Amino acid sequence: MPTQCTCPPADAIPDISAQDCPSKAGNITRLVIGREAGGDFTDITDETEFDTRLAAVDATKIVLTPFLSDVEFPSSNIIETAKDDKSSPFGEGFRTGETSVTVTANLKNLEPSIKDELVSIVNCYSDLNIALVDSNDKIWAIGATTLIPISNGFVGTRQFGGIDDTDAYTLSFTLRPEWDLGLLENVPTWSPNAK
């Protein structure tokens, strides 16, 4: 959900909390994929709820991708108009929004049948949401309950690596502007990478 500003804003700018601990993700190793129609988790770190959703046969079902390599999360950019010309005061321009971002990753040495299964998910469902699993077994979601909406999911054709590299399929998807508002590192007592 984009930032909502009150108008007029309060006289005092809001406080910024002191940082007690650094917040850093390890390598993103897998995605949890679910449907918006499946609703929120009660607690994404609850292994019983997680396993129940993996086994579900309705809209609450989730799946885990195979392991990912070369995951790239670019930062969004500002969208401006009237910058450096006479159509804005002093040529400062007007901020009109923020760009979405396209995330890319490689699925290396993946069996073609598993690629086909993944294609059938990203091509056939328009309400997909994800959580990120990192190499430290943290699950990154919006709070402890909500998956992150994505769009434009795509799995590319096979890239042959030849003698000196692995074969790979590229996975990509789009995240909305300000997709990381409310993002939280959730630390389960079990390993999502072992599922």
| pLDDT of amino acid 23 | 82
| pLDDT of amino acid 2 | 60
As a whole number of Å, the CA-based R_g of the chain is: 20
| pLDDT of amino acid 5 | 81
Q: Where are the domains of the chain?
A: 28-75+91-194
Render each residue's pLDDT in the chain as its tens digit; 195 residues: 467 788 888 889 888 888 888 888 889 999 999 999 999 999 999 999 999 999 999 999 999 999 999 999 999 999 988 888 888 888 888 888 899 999 999 999 999 999 999 999 999 999 999 999 999 999 999 999 999 999 999 999 999 988 888 999 999 999 999 999 999 999 999 999 999
| pLDDT of amino acid 97 | 87
